[in-house]
Amino acid sequence: MPVNWDEFDSDIDSIVDESANKTDERLASRISSLTRMTDDEVQELFPEPSDVKKLKDLMKIVKSSEDRNKKISNIVSNSEEFGGIVLTLLQKFV
């Protein structure tokens, strides 16, 4: 089932805005529903709501219908924003 990224975007942004300093269960649940991570893993790896927002932005690029070179270009253009997220994910899975 394809993901409605606009709706997902809006949901995540709303939850991030409502969150305090810690990733809450609703935010972790939305991310874990699209990944292989559990809610607890999302909360552990990305305790800050702003990091979850960055993860969402990265996931949106990766799952877009654009070609591989455009995806790479978008990731490189946002490398400062995504650097910490990529490092966290690689440390988890490598």
pLDDT band per the 50, 70, 90 thresholds, residue 27: confident
Per-residue confidence (pLDDT) for residue 39, from 0 to 100: 92
Distance from C-alpha of 45 to C-alpha of 52, rounded to nearest angstrom: 9
Distance from C-alpha of 5 to C-alpha of 26, rounded to nearest angstrom: 17
Distance from C-alpha of 71 to C-alpha of 78, rounded to nearest angstrom: 11
Burial class (CB in 10 A: 0-12, 13-18, 19+), 52: buried
- Whether the per-residue pLDDT at 60 is higher than 80: the answer is yes
Q: Maximum CA pair distance of the chain?
A: 37
Share of the chain above pLDDT 90, in %: 53
Distance from C-alpha of 25 to C-alpha of 73, rounded to nearest angstrom: 32
Per-residue confidence (pLDDT) for residue 21, from 0 to 100: 53
pLDDT digits (tens, 9 = 90+) for 30-54: 899 989 999 999 999 999 888 999 9
Mean pLDDT of 46-73: 93
Which structural domain, as residue segments, surrounds residue 58?
A: 5-93
Distance from C-alpha of 24 to C-alpha of 94, rounded to nearest angstrom: 26
Count how many domains the chain has.
1
pTM for the complete prediction? 0.76
